[in-house]
Amino acid sequence: MTKALINARVLTPEGFKDKQSILFRGEKIVAICSDAYRPPDVVVERDLGGMVLLPGYIDVQVNGGGGVLFNDNPTVEGIKAIGAAHRKFGTTGFFPTLISDDLAVMASAIAAVEDAIEQGVPGVLGIHLEGPFLNQEKCGVHDASKFAQIGPDELALISRLKNGTTIITLAPEKTTPEIIRTLCQRGIIVSAGHSQASYEEAIAAMDAGLSGFTHLFNAMKPMHSRYPGIIAAALEDKRSWCSIIADGHHVHPAMLRLALRAKAEEQIFLVTDAMPSVGARDKGFSIGGNKIEVQDGKCTTGDGTLSGSDLDMNSAVHNAVAYLDIDLAQAVRMATILPARFANMQDRLGEIRPGLQANFVLLSPEQKIVQSWIKGKAL
């Protein structure tokens, strides 16, 4: 059965188009056409009344949501709760993210993601392991006592996920190009973060296959005129993808605008780095025994250390419009097709076009989330 969402202002790869019908069968989009040329035999699921229909948002860094921290609940039920919380804000694809922890917790988290994908939990794309192979000088809220080196056992564990994609954030200076190359050869997406890497170390890591830089500027050695460091490597090299947290707290808007100009190939995308407070009534939470306070959208420890964010992806998109001086279409690309390309999923996610998954987000005239669809199902 072919279904249709009709009378929509649709963001297509060519831009916004009015009075459009989206035809989908099962999980896949089969056609986009003008309402006037919609085939008569399709089943109209919903008249969208001229509202904006976007591709579903993709978030590659989601530590928690709905009162659940993935580290504390590395289970299928924990993943379901996190996904449900973020779906209310338009996220239809996400990577549950485990911050630095013991190998046993990592094993549980990987197994939970494997099971979640097998069970068809909506939106789960893989796992993001943010650590524990990081630099203690840039630990942020991570527990440095959990930090480790990548040896044979760790390499086997990181490579364990069979369904879905694994992203790992590591400090390039704390491992070797050979290990990075091995990870990439096993299909793992390697990103740099929580790092003091020099420019030369970052370039060597990219030569070995590293492709991402996690929450650019944050927990990284600052640039210097004579010692450009990891940030300059990320901004200069055309191979690199950079994620940014556009919450108004992690990075000044001027720095975000400079980064966007540097990444002329559109290789900069949005993440939330969301914590349990997103979608939760009780905003307070703890990490490793540290109480985290949430005020005005900012998550901090008692000493003021930033601890992830209280940001949802729909807010990130609209913040990007405001902070980066870009239009809605470009901001949405930074939350859809660009993270899909980073994760090598552009052949099935990230745009509204035939052949891709029927993942959509419907915006009200006030740009709030009205409805989301994952694989053709309204949720």
The catalytic residues are 273
* Rounded Cα distance, 26 and 376, in Å: 6
131 CA to centre of own chain: 16
Paired tokens of 278: 């997103």
Q: Is the N-terminal amide bond of 152 cis, ω within 30° of 0?
A: no
The upper half-sphere exposure of residue 72, i.e. CA atoms within 13 Å in the direction of its Cβ, equals 17
Taking the CB of residue 161, how many other CB atoms lie within 10 A of it? 20
Paired tokens of 237: 């090299």
Paired tokens of 375: 């694989």
Paired tokens of 63: 């530590």
* Cβ-based neighbours of 366, under 8 Å, separated by 6 or more: none
Taking the CB of residue 331, how many other CB atoms lie within 10 A of it? 21
* Helical (H) or strand (E) element with 34: strand 28-34
* Cβ-based neighbours of 289, under 8 Å, separated by 6 or more: none
Q: What is the largest CA-CA distance in the chain?
A: 66
Beta strands in 64-192 (DSSP E): 64-65, 68-69, 91-99, 126-130, 165-170, 189-192
Helix (H, G, I), strand (E, B) or coil at 373: strand
Torsion angle defined by CA atoms of residues 251, 208, 147 and 130, in that order, rounded to the nearest 10 degrees: 50
Paired tokens of 74: 């590395």
Buried b (16+ CB within 10 A) or exposed e, 345-368: bbeebbbbeeebbbbbbbbeeeee
